[in-house]
Amino acid sequence: MVFILTGLFILGSAVGSFLNVVIDRSVEEKGVFGGSLRSQCDYCKATLSSVDLIPIISFAGLGGKCRRCKKKLSWQYPFVEALCGSLFALSFYVLGSFGAVSLWLLLYFLFLICIFIVVAVIDIKFSLIPTTFVFFAAAVSLFYNYFFLDSALFVQNVLTAFLLAAFFFALFLITKGRGMGSGDIPLAFLIGMVLGWPNAIAAMFLAFTSGALISILLVIFGKKGLKQTIPFGPFLAASALVVMFWGRQIVDFYLSFI
């Protein structure tokens, strides 16, 4: 077990390093695979060598600075690498504890982890939802549900996805785009497709609750004004991941108050 978890963490941190490239390049006109594929320093544009690209270790060994220009590097890089590695290992551990480990389910979880991390960090960094990734993930989820779930669950997940998308679309219209961005609509659809009923509702409740709490704290500490907004995508993505792992327990916890 320890060997597998360690291997998945190492794999996840390496994937996280690639996700950092995807995050930084996805909003550029040249795209993820445009231009040079070699990683460069954000400041001096020096090409990074292999020793500079070891996930987490290189950042720590260099003191969080570029080897050439000595400017501080973003904490995004080791954070995404460590988060992705931890979630990869957690996927196997949680699925194993529920006796539900299968290769296809594990790969499905790892894929969704990558998508939700990319969506959350891009929304934090650029205040937009990368809908191309979201639509692709929704299509993958649709096919997974069709081939691996029974017909009743498949229909239930599809209906839940459309229900959540319609709810977010209504919020977008009511607030005229000021309270809810259009990119949150397909993201809600994806979450409904992945989690189904009632787990998707639990994820929505968790996202709105955590989003409201963080917003209040940011206003109290003067980081945001009352009329300023914060990206909601990270709360949706984080809540979806939490419910992916512990949906049954969270739903039972909510129901205990009814």
Q: What is the pLDDT of residues 166-191, one digit of tens each?
A: 999 999 998 887 778 889 999 999 99
From CA 22, how far away is CA 14, in angstroms rounded?
Answer: 13
Is 4 inside any structural domain? yes
Of 64-68, 94-98, 116-120, which range is least confident?
64-68
Which pTM was predicted?
0.91
Specify the number of domains making up the chain.
2
Domain containing 4: what range?
Answer: 1-101
The answer on 162 and 47 residing in a single domain is no
From CA 14, how far away is CA 82, in angstroms rounded?
Answer: 9
Q: What pLDDT does residue 19 have?
A: 95
Task: Round to the nearest angstrom and report the end-to-end CA distance of the chain.
Answer: 39
* H-assigned helices in 26-130: 57-61, 76-97, 103-126
Half-sphere exposure at residue 172, Cβ-oriented, CA atoms within 13 angstroms: 14
The answer on 139 and 50 residing in a single domain is no
The answer on 254 and 148 residing in a single domain is yes
Is 120 inside any structural domain? no
Is 106 inside any structural domain? no
Average pLDDT of span 89-110? 90
The answer on 71 and 188 residing in a single domain is no
| Tens digit of each residue's pLDDT (9 = 90 or more) over 7-34 | 999 999 999 999 998 998 887 655 555 5
246: Cβ–Cβ under 8 A, 6 or more apart, which residues? 94
| Tens digit of each residue's pLDDT (9 = 90 or more) over 120-152 | 999 999 989 999 999 999 999 999 999 999 999
Q: Name the percent of the chain lying above pLDDT 90.
A: 60
Q: State the average pLDDT for the chain.
A: 88
The answer on 135 and 88 residing in a single domain is no
